[in-house]
Amino acid sequence: MPNNGEAEQLALAGLFETFGASRDVKKNAFIFRSEEESQDIYFVRDGLVKISQFAQEGQSITLFLRHKGEVFGAAEVLTGEKRQRYARCITDSRILSIPASSFIELLKQHPDALYALTVANARRLLQTQRYVETLVSRPVAWRLAQLLLQLGVRSGKETVVTLPLSHEEISYVIGCSRQTVTETLGRWRDEGIVRYERKQVVIFDTEAFEAHI
């Protein structure tokens, strides 16, 4: 029997699988851009999507990552606002979408999906609160380690992380400089904890890595 989080994800997945339109989106392609009208709500069937915005200086700041099984783009639809940020695939992805007007009616007809979306939004609020606390209280190495473990795939003792983000994008996500990301990965490599190449990190012993950090 699925746990609560899995049950909520299944309810939303079922809604999008049944009523959503599917499209394959290439790496680096935009799903929506800031200031566009909010016409659809999206579900990551496969792949990885970043939600970003441009700062005043013009650089792109990655705020959130949306993984397989997650909904995105709902906030502006439900509040009737234009897109505040942009969504872009950072791997080849399959995206399901439902038009805004249809989605709202479907939520009325499927209370399990409405409940699941409400819980998902509550979880995200708590995650955002924890994220702010983490930026204040946790060292950079810990924040980087948690991101790698989140992105990685466990295989026995090892965790293999194929990096879809540049060091600069990682720095925005965890709240540090690009140089600090590069130096921290390099230090772990020199200590023999990881094998680090340009687009891949292999954590040799995941439990030892977590204990070390």
- The pair of structure tokens assigned to 169 is 């994008």
Identical fold for domains 4-135 and 139-212, yes or no, is no
Q: Binning pLDDT at 50, 70 and 90, where does residue 148 land? A: very high
Give the mean model confidence (pLDDT) for residues 93-122.
91
Q: How high is the mean pLDDT of the chain?
A: 88
Least trusted range by pLDDT, from 29-43, 96-110, 118-132: 118-132
Most confident of 49-53, 125-129, 131-135: 49-53
Strand, coil or helix: 68: coil
What's the pLDDT score for residue 70? 92
Q: Is this prediction's pTM over 0.85?
A: no
Straight-line distance from the first to the last Cα atom of the chain, in angstroms, rounded to the nearest whole number? 34
Name 58's Cβ contacts closer than 8 Å, sequence gap at least 6.
none
Q: What confidence score (pLDDT) does residue 9 get? A: 77
Domain chopping of the chain, boundaries: 4-135, 139-212
Task: Pick the most confident of 64-68, 123-127, 132-136, 185-189.
Answer: 185-189
CATH superfamily of 4-135: Jelly Rolls (2.60.120.10)
Tell me which amino acid residue 88 is.
R
Which of the following CATH numbers is that of domain 139-212: 1.10.10.10, 3.40.30.10, 2.30.30.830, 1.10.10.1100?
1.10.10.10
Q: What is the mean pLDDT of residues 129-134?
A: 70
Q: Which of 3-7, 22-26, 117-121, 153-157 is predicted most confidently? A: 22-26
How many contiguous H segments (helices) and E segments (strands) does the chain have?
8, 12
DSSP state string for 28-57: T-EEE-TTS---EEEEEEES-EEEEEE-TT
